[in-house]
Amino acid sequence: MIGRLNHIGVATPSIDESVKMYRELLGATSVTDKWAMPEQGVWVCFVNLPNSQIELIEPYGEKSPIHAFLAKNPKGGQHHVCFEVENIYEARDALVAKGATVLGEPRIGAHGTLIIFVHPKDMGGMLVELMESPKDAHH
């Protein structure tokens, strides 16, 4: 079921400040523009790496699910790990059949493909995002 590591999600109180850090401290040269995903309650930006991406997520609006994370981690930090799967519905059904808690229904994520999240209690304490493999080339 598990496929390629697509990205590491990093919650941040400021995408702009995080981008500055990735550029100045780590030498990142390929960063997407920031855009809003109001349906997810986040601003999103990707730092493109040779083998993966860092997804920077910042709260969008008062009901953003990132607020609770940042309340516990005011400077931000690793929020989730995202793996690709061939079929999101088959992956969801297999996980549920094995007793895992899938959070919500499949929905469109930042890459324009279907995503789900698996509860950290079933994933060794780590929030895991599964995303259907993009049909186009990776970013």
Q: Which CATH number goes with the domain that contains 31?
A: 3.10.180.10
So what's the pLDDT on residue 1? 85
Element (H, E) at 37: strand 35-37
- Based on the residue annotation, tell me whether 17 is a catalytic residue of this protein: no
Domain total in the chain? 1
What is d(CA 130, CA 109) in angstroms, rounded to the nearest whole number?
10
The answer to whether residue 101 sits within a structural domain is yes
Decide: helix, strand or coil at residue 107. strand
Q: Residue 87 is which amino acid?
A: N
At 74-125, the pLDDT tens digits run 999 999 999 999 999 999 999 999 999 999 999 999 999 999 999 999 999 9
Query: By residue range, what is the domain housing residue 75?
Result: 2-132
Q: Is residue 99 a part of any domain in this protein?
A: yes
* Residue 137 maps to a domain: no
Q: Which one of 55, 58, 129, 132 is the catalytic residue? A: 129
